[in-house]
Amino acid sequence: MAQRYEIRFSGAGGQGLITAGIILAEAAAIIEGKHAVQSQSYGPEARGGASKSEVIIADDPIDYPKATLVNACLALTQEAADKYAHGIIDKGVLLIDCDLVKTAPQGNFTLYQLPIIRTAKEEIGREIVANVVALGAMVALTGIVSFESGEKAVLDRVPAAFRELNKKAYRVGFEKMKGIL
Amino acid sequence: MTRKTALIQGNEACAHAAVYAGCTFFAGYPITPSSEIAEVLAKELPKVGGKFIQMEDEIAAMAAIIGASLCGHKVMDASSGPGMSLKQELIGYACIAEIPCVIVNVMRGGPSTGMPTGPSQSDVMQARWGTHGDHAAIAIAPASCQEIFAETVRAFNLAETYRMPVQILMDEIVAHMREKIVFPEPGELAIVTRQAPFVSPAEYKPFDTSFGDIPPLAAMGGNYRYHVTGLNKAPDGFPTTKAELVDAEERRQLRKVEAHAAAIEKNEEYLTEDAEVIVLSFGITSRSARFAVDSLRQEGVRAGLFRPITLWPFPEKRVAEVARKTRAIVVPEMNLGQLVYEVERVVKGSCRLAALGRVDGEPITPYQIIDKVKEVL
Amino acid sequence: MAFNYEKYIRPGKLPHIWCPGCGHGIVMKGLIRAIDKCALNKNRTAVISGIGCASRLPGYVDFNTVHTAHGRAAAFATGMKMADPGLTVLCVGGDGDGVAIGGNHFIHACRRNIDITYILMNNHIYGMTGGQFSPCTPTDGFASTTPYGNPDPVFDIAKLAIGAGATFVARTTAYHATQIDKLIIEGIQHKGFSVIEILDCCPTSYGRRNKYRSVVEMMKQHKELAVPVTAAAKMAPEDLAGKIITGVLHKEDKPEYCEQYSRLIEKVQEQAAAKG
């Protein structure tokens, strides 16, 4: 049984959180050579609803691919916070979007708040990169992969025309998180 | 040389493996949670000169792959619950006419439309007995993206070797989760090509058993001209109702798998040697089971895992052996009792047996298995 | 010199299962003469059928032959043609097989305009199962499952094929034997999906229940009701009611499916080569 680190990204369908999970898993598995499994649960809707993407990272092969005890969780919407911000271990961490999650889940974990969507909209100029802002913040929060691995994984995945935009989104997310840690 | 790696979904691994195995024809119909297989092959097959066709329905997709297989192609179709129900008609055709083909079933719950986006393992018995009439069946249930690749290649090899349909059973989690896979180099995995006829066109019979139970299948459109039917047939391929011919044909078709079960079967055993309790589990559930086995071992319970990779033919000899040496077998599966009955048939009361079913669209967790094991011991 | 059918009939496979008076044998002979006229290579010709009386035809003729499942001929044939576009692929079958259980495959084969020639023998009945009504049984006609007369409207197969996109659609009857050859030849030579509907007689299951005293009477009716398409063009619609319009009803040139897919492959491979 591998020593597991479990991360859950949750929010609304269409916010790109599955992609955020994939990028993190690629940073861990392909760039850093660890083992990683990314999975998701989804409903019939392509947009809206509550969606989650889970990444398990370990040094050894991973058996059960779903979260068991979540080390770190992200919730971008109230619905996602209510539905998916559970199972977090004692001393685990939860990051919420402080504009959209008005009622923060309670538990024996440390709560962090950032205006993730607003940051994407106002500082980066495109709400569509909120997932990459969130990814940067989660990398800073967990330290499960290095800043550089996360950045490389982001850039490997996005089309050339959007590299600068995503690079900035990732960096701003990372720095904002560092600022409140 | 560093080998090509990628973080990809099970469905994507399956599609890429098909191309690796030499698949040059895919026909399908869109259905969750299998559609990525069709999407990847729509992109990849033309690159290697292969053909992809999206048919008007699930039955037509089966018909098209059988037609293409008759013309010498290695073929594949992929679907899920309702689609699999429709395909049973022509899976039967592929059985009786002995047409190599690979059919992927990314299982969902049911019956009917069921839960398209939730994981399930409830088509175990359909894979064995879905089409009407006596027939042989081969079904493989891989549990990781790397294994999906290898087992998809093996599925093509088995289909071509035994001249019959082979099913790959996956579940939504295995099909959609992303894991790192290392792509095998060309030549690294064995690839079986279809046996050409041993005789001249004038002497050829499509079901000639003079060379054994698996008659070679000539590609239509070449120099061999013959007839194929879904009726019971004589060795020359033409319909017959002669009792002795029908009986011989039916028995031979079952024998193709029975006589080669040892070569077709594949299992993984983990800590079964000294196990006082064995979790027998396949697909995604086997990964929960492995987690549970490790946890139980840490608590001092001598648990083990028996994972059939080939579900059909069921590894009955080996399961009977391990059952004699253990106190209990627990069978967790995402259905309300399918494989457990096969285990019961084989174990014949030589150890305790417990089923653990789950059908709410969530996977069986390691903790559920741990609790069940403790309850049984 | 008389035409030598034996060249194309599989030795030992006759007699066929068809009843005396059934028109399927006329169609089979027409098909053989047409194939001979087109000088097709037997190894490069496939005849595909579904299930039913007409679908037994492939067993008798010496080509690559596939007797598939009920209604599925067009779908099997699509797979074969796509797999081997150089193969001449013909489908044969009846009305219930082709446009009831196989209706979906039939219309989508029309839509794709895949180069297959579909010879549909329409005898208005399910003959093999004992005379149940088909989508082509005349309204008010009698069948074993319409003991009070058929309440269903009738499918117009040619209109269906044209509407679905077939690029060659023709009709004749089993009485018009020489036209059968001509239309099948034209269908084979046409690049695209060709439908040849041949109105046929089932004395056993249809004629007997619908007050035809003999198959001769059924054939005679086909002869009398037939109006060549050229003559029909000059007739008023009310005069055409109940008539059988024969000949080539529709012909157009549209891209053929396998050729389209070959172009797709070429394009994809060129792009891949350009990328290196």
C101: domain CATH number is: 3.40.50.970
The CA distance from A25 to the nearest CA of chain B, in Å, is: 8
| Token couple for C106 | 């039939």
What's the rounded Cα separation, in Å, for the pair B70 and A56?
Answer: 45
Query: Which residues in chain B land under pLDDT 70?
Result: 1
Residue B295 three-state SS: helix
Element (H, E) at B341: helix B339-347
| Token couple for C170 | 């023709």
What's the rounded Cα separation, in Å, for the pair C5 and C12?
Answer: 14
A70-111 tens-digit pLDDT: 999 999 999 999 999 989 999 999 999 999 999 999 999 999
Domain annotation covers residue B90? yes
| Contacts B288 to A, Cβ<8 Å | 63-64
B206-243 tens-digit pLDDT: 999 998 999 999 999 999 999 999 999 999 999 999 99
What's the rounded Cα separation, in Å, for the pair C170 and C156?
Answer: 12
C4-55 tens-digit pLDDT: 999 999 999 999 999 999 999 999 999 999 999 999 999 999 999 999 999 9
CB pairs under 8 A between A and B: 62
What stretches of chain A adopt beta strand conformation (E)?
4-13, 35-41, 48-58, 70-75, 88-97, 110-114
What's the pLDDT at B176? 96
Judged by average pLDDT, the poorest of A39-48, A123-132, A153-162, C84-93 is A39-48
For all residues of chain A together, what is the average pLDDT? 94
Cα A152-A41-A94 angle, rounded to 5 deg? 65
What's the rounded Cα separation, in Å, for the pair B134 and B252?
Answer: 11
| Length in residues, chain A | 181
For all residues of chain C together, what is the average pLDDT? 97
Closest CA to C79 of B70, B222, B224, B103: B70
Q: Which member of B46, B57, B222 has the closest CB to residue C104?
A: B57
Residues β-bridged to residue A93: A72, A110
Domain annotation covers residue B84? yes
Looking at the structure, tell me whether residues B281 and B178 fall in a common domain. no
| Contacts C43 to B, Cβ<8 Å | 221-225
| Token couple for C160 | 């269906």
Query: Does the structure show a pLDDT above 90 at C81?
Result: yes
Nearest-Cα residue of chain B relative to residue C258? B51
How many domains in chain B?
A: 2
| Contacts B179 to A, Cβ<8 Å | 29, 36-38, 62, 65
Q: Which member of A35, A39, A68 has the closest CB to residue B176?
A: A39
Query: Is residue B238 within 8 Å of residue B227, measured between CB atoms?
Result: yes
Looking at the structure, tell me whether residues B290 and B146 fall in a common domain. no
User: pLDDT-derived band of residue A48, with 50, 70 and 90 as boundaries?
Assistant: confident
Domain boundary among B164, B182, B200: B182
| Contacts B365 to A, Cβ<8 Å | 64, 66, 68
What's the pLDDT at A43? 67
User: pLDDT-derived band of residue C275, with 50, 70 and 90 as boundaries?
Assistant: confident
pLDDT: is C120 or A42 the higher one?
C120
C132-157 tens-digit pLDDT: 999 999 999 999 999 999 999 999 99
Main-chain phi, psi angles of A75, to 5 degrees: -130, 120
Q: Do A30 and B180 touch (CB under 8 A)?
A: yes
Domain that holds residue B369: 267-376
Chains C and A touch (3+ CB pairs under 8 A): no
Domain covering A4-115+146-158, topology: Pyruvate-ferredoxin Oxidoreductase; domain 3 (3.40.920)
B295: domain CATH number is: 3.40.50.920
What's the pLDDT at A50? 87
The CA distance from C110 to the nearest CA of chain B, in Å, is: 12
What's the pLDDT at C88? 98
Domain annotation covers residue B122? yes
Angle (deg, nearest 10), helices A17-26 and A147-157: 120
| Helix, strand, coil in percent for chain C, rounding step 5 | 45, 20, 35
| Contacts C65 to B, Cβ<8 Å | 226-228
Q: Do A30 and B365 touch (CB under 8 A)?
A: no
User: pLDDT-derived band of residue A2, with 50, 70 and 90 as boundaries?
Assistant: low
Looking at the structure, tell me whether residues B178 and B273 fall in a common domain. no
| Contacts B7 to A, Cβ<8 Å | 22, 25-26, 29-30, 36, 38
Using CB atoms, which chains have 3+ pairs under 8 A with C? B
What stretches of A44-170 adopt beta strand conformation (E)?
48-58, 70-75, 88-97, 110-114
How many domains in chain C?
A: 1
Does residue C271 sit at the B interface (CB-CB below 8 Å)? Answer: no
Domain that holds residue C74: 5-275
The CA distance from A75 to the nearest CA of chain B, in Å, is: 21
Domain boundary among B182, B200, B225: B182
Q: In what order do the strands lie in the sheet with B101-107?
A: B51-54, B23-28, B74-79, B101-107, B165-171, B138-140, B310-312
Domain annotation covers residue B342? yes
Domain annotation covers residue B82? yes
Q: Do B53 and C42 touch (CB under 8 A)?
A: no
Question: Is the bond preceding residue B111 a cis peptide, omega within 30 degrees?
Answer: yes
Mean pLDDT within C158-176: 98
Sign of the Cα torsion C123, C128, C133, C135 reads negative
Residue type at position B97: A
Complex prediction ipTM: 0.97
Domain annotation covers residue B208? no
| Token couple for C264 | 């797709």
Mutate to test the interface with C, among B26, B47, B53 (most CBs of C within 10 A): B53
The CA distance from C244 to the nearest CA of chain B, in Å, is: 31
Q: Do B68 and C69 touch (CB under 8 A)?
A: no
Does this model's pTM top 0.90? My answer is yes
